[in-house]
Each structure stands twice: as C-alpha cells, then as structure tokens.
Chains A and B, each alone.
Chain A
C-alpha cells in the first residue's frame, strides 16, 4: 500500500514538469544602413595596395596567367596564377564601389559606382589608373544593398549591409516564408537580383587578348565594344582605342536586367523575368529578337550551339520558390522553346565545356553533368563536390576555376570524370 501512495505523488511531479514545446527559429537577415559617399572622395581612392586576404569574394576574371578576384564593393585582388597549384597574391587595387571587370590587352575596365575606370595592368603589381568615364552608371547594388547617384550633390546614396541574427520563439509549425507586405514598402527594387551574366565559351570576336569572366560578370567584351548591363539598360562603350573607352550608346532593355552573354553574333541577356535574345550582327546596334519568359527568378545563362542552359533559384533577392535548370531550344532564335526542366537545390552560376556542364549549387557545392542527352541530364550526374560553397565557375578547358563564399578553388578538369583539386585560397588567408 505504501507504494500506492507513490503513484499520485509521481503523477503530480509529472504534471508539474514543464510541458511546453520550445521552438526557436534562428534567422539571419540582412540589414541596410543608409550611407552617403561623395564622388570626390571615391575618385581619389583608387590606389594600389599590398596584397590583402579575401573577405567577400565576388566575381572572378581570368586573363593569361593572372587572375582577378573582386572584393565586393571594395576593389580587385590580383593573383599570379602561373602555377594553378600555387596561386600568389601580388596586389590589391582599392576601387570603391567595384563589382565588375573586364580585361582587354593591358587594360582593365572596372566599375566604381557611377564611373568606368580603366587601369593599365602592364605591370600587374602596380596597376595605374589611366582613364575614367564619369557618371555613366546611375544605380546598382552590392550584396542586396542598393546605391544610386545623387546628381544634385555629386554623391552616392548607398546602403551598408550587415547581417543580423535573430532568435524567434515559434509555434513549432511551418511559419510563412515571408509575409510579403512587410517588404514591399521601400524594398521593391531590392527583390531583384545581383547580376548574373554568363561567360562565353566562344572567343568574343575582335578582341586582341581578351580575358574571360565567370557567369556572374555584368561586363562583356565584343568586337570594339564593351557591353555593360545595368538594371534596365545596356551600355555600350567604344573601346576602339582600348586605353580610352568612350560612352557610345545606351539601349533600354526593360526591367530587372541581370546578365549579358555574347555567343557567336548574338547577345543573351538574362533578366528577372526571362531571357532576352538580341541579334548582334551589328555590334553598335543590337536588335531584339525574342524573349523567353519564365517565373520571376534569378537566372544565369550559358549557351552551347542550339541549347541555352538557364538556372532559376530561390533565396535572397530572388522571388522564385523553385530551384531548377532549364534547357531551352534556341535553334530558332525568334522562338525559344523549353526542352526540359530539371529540379536543382540552389543553382547559382554555371559554365559549359560541352558536353560537360558545371553547375554551382551554392552551399550544396558543385555538380558536374554530362549534357549530351538533353532529356536525361539528371541521370548523367558525373560528380558532386559537396564540401564547398560554389557561387560561380569558369571552365578554362584544362582547368576549372570556382569561387564561393569560402574561397577560390582551382581544379584540373582535363578529364571531367576525374576532377582533381589543385588549390584553394580560403577566405581570410593569403596562402593556399
């Protein structure tokens, strides 16, 4: 009987235990702080400095034995890559508001907020500013933070981006992805994505010693022109005298332009709403042929022969909830047709060295596909590199260059079935 008393006591103890579900959501959000920077200050800050470590690697660009890595919004790292197994930082060029670059011969073209800066890199250790086209770009964004040119005071109104971690008590259910209305207030344009343009496997015509960009570049060289895409227009710079680029023409493209991809004599322009195809037979005056519309999404594009490879992804700045790779038949450029969609995890940049397609899956690493059978791409996954962050990739034939949030990787890809890592420059370190 003594034990029978035990029961109610234990029951009481049990009922007094906390029976509350505890669910905590950890949410990392970008926070934007307004800043104003004067053009005068920006223009005197282009300087060459001692090599620095990668902090927020952006786009990459390759020219000969040199590798250019954008430090988002801050400048360009110059890396001597004559030995891909042992790349060496040689200099850092401080360029405020830099996000893109292109190289022809010994001239490096870089954006610096509103301006297009030309640097002489005949001595890569000591690049020098030789030309500047003033106030050609009016607006842009870095890492989701927008800037625009305030003409009346000659300054940039920008936003600094910081990451804020929040802990929220939730009801242990699937809470809404994002209550859209909270964000439509002042952030409409924020929903458009960083520019993703594509690299061209076909050597761009007419360029003596052009370099090669990744699928994130917004700059492209073709014939005697430098094409740059802004949010809603295409800028043409005449670089017939490479040391003196001249503002040549502006073509309005509509809304949410992200990417430009010259392939043969066509321009493939990616936007948040679709892929525009332009005829570039006359490089001075591209003409619109067609638009391939899709869901609102971020979409880098690469092209090989009659097939365009387009990826859509969800996530920061992209409004799509789907992640996929679309193969588009472009044999008739005026009537692009979908071949097949393949679901992916979180596709970012991509590169093609036919029949091998390299696809960056963000935090999910890099996937290598054989795309010869266009209806069975998903069944021809050659390999999947998981332990890396993959943002953009440049296939250079024998070698493969890949950049992610955690650093820059180089691979020996002479045999796509046996890709071998040559080196990694991790973020925050000067050596491999």
Chain B
C-alpha cells in the first residue's frame, strides 16, 4: 500500500512537468480495456487434510478483467498516467490502482505495436468476505505488448497480451486444533485484452 502511495505522489509531482512538452492538440490519453486473465492452478485436493498424502489436481482458471488508463501524452511515443481496474478472480475481487505507461514501439503507421506496463497495488475494497475470512490485496505488476489499429492521432482499437502478477493474502478462520491459517496468493496470469485508446 505504501509503495502505491509513493507512486501516486511521485506521479502527481512529475505530471506538471510533462505538460510542458506535450503538443497542445493531444494531451489527454484514455485507454479502456476489457479482457480475460488466463491461468492454471495446481493444488492439493485434500486441502492438507490427507495426512501427508496430497491429491494433486490441476485446473484452468479464466477470469474477467477490466481496466482504464488515464494519462498524459509525454511525447509522440510515450504516455504516462494512472491505471485503475477491477479483476474478478475466482474467489477475490481486486481493484488495482497503479502507475501506468503506454509506449509506441513502431512509428506512425495505422497498425502499430506498443508496450504497456502498469505497476501498483491491488486492493480488496469491494471484495465481500465470507464469514470469518479476511482478504487483503497486494502488489500488482502488469507488463505486456499490444497492437493498436487506427490512425495515429485518432481513436484506436487495441489488442494486448500481457503478464499479470497479483498478490493477495487471506486469513482463514480456525477451529478445533488449528491455531492459525493464512493463505498467501500469487496470481500469475496471461491477460488477453481488447480496448479503445483515444
């Protein structure tokens, strides 16, 4: 949480500096995306109650993700700003708040490759805990690449492929002979998104 706070403060401090170098006709950038977080999970089907005999199960995971980047165009390639999102993991609703950047790798063509990167903290503000459980979020990293289709200075349609890393921590209620239960989660996902950039 501290980390993301610092990010935001730094961002606020440096943003006015950016405005100096922006061409007046296009200063503000919005990149709204919706997509899927694809991954797998392998776990012990006995939840550790099997007396030392794990029952290994592997399953696919597909979850919905939405995010919006709001930023300022720093130069004709780079835009920096703030990314907010909502990720519906199977048993967690995480809302990341991150510093983000969009960088055009290729020149002024109608189909261009761009790099995308967001780093920040995923909160569990909107997650409803089950009785006795308590979820807190954690660090979020999301670097990747995308393609934008559209005129260089107009609205563009984007497809992106990125790696998404999200931490979370869950406190689980105890009972009987169990003293404490804490689950540390690391979501490692392939994010496949489409969006609009203007």
Contact = CB atoms under 8 A, between A and B. Distances in A.
A163 to B, nearest CB: 6
A176 interface: yes
Interface stretch (A9-17, A69-77, A125-133): A9-17
Interface residues of A, number: 51
A27 B180 contact: yes
B193 interface: no
A174 B42 contact: no
B44 interface: yes
B133 to A, nearest CB: 6
Given A27-B181, A321-B131, A187 B41 contact: no
B185 interface: yes
Given A25-B48, A172-B43, A183-B177, 14 more contacts: A15-B190, A17-B163, A21-B41, A21-B187, A21-B188, A23-B41, A27-B180, A168-B48, A170-B43, A170-B44, A174-B172, A175-B47, A176-B47, A190-B177
B177 A316 contact: yes
Contacts of B176: 178, 183, 187, 190-191, 316-317, 319
A414 B99 CA distance: 51
B106 A20 contact: no
A23 B106 contact: no
Nearest to B184: A24
27 contacts: A3-B105, A3-B106, A6-B113, A7-B113, A7-B145, A11-B161, A19-B38, A20-B42, A21-B41, A23-B184, A25-B172, A25-B182, A26-B182, A26-B184, A27-B181, A28-B181, A166-B48, A171-B41, A172-B61, A172-B91, A173-B91, A174-B172, A175-B47, A177-B132, A315-B174, A316-B174, A316-B175
Interface in B182-198: 182-190
A169 interface: yes
Query: DSSP class of A's interface residues: helix, strand, loop or mixed?
Result: mixed
Interface string B150-162: 0000000000011
A32 B177 CA distance: 9
A160 to B, nearest CB: 13
Nearest to A171: B43
A177 B175 contact: yes
Give 9 nearest A-B pairs by CB, closest first: A168-B48, A173-B91, A171-B43, A28-B179, A30-B177, A21-B41, A25-B183, A19-B39, A22-B186
Given A19-B188, A21-B185, A170-B43, A3 B113 contact: yes
A30 B179 CA distance: 7
Most buried by B among A29, A177, A190, A316: A177
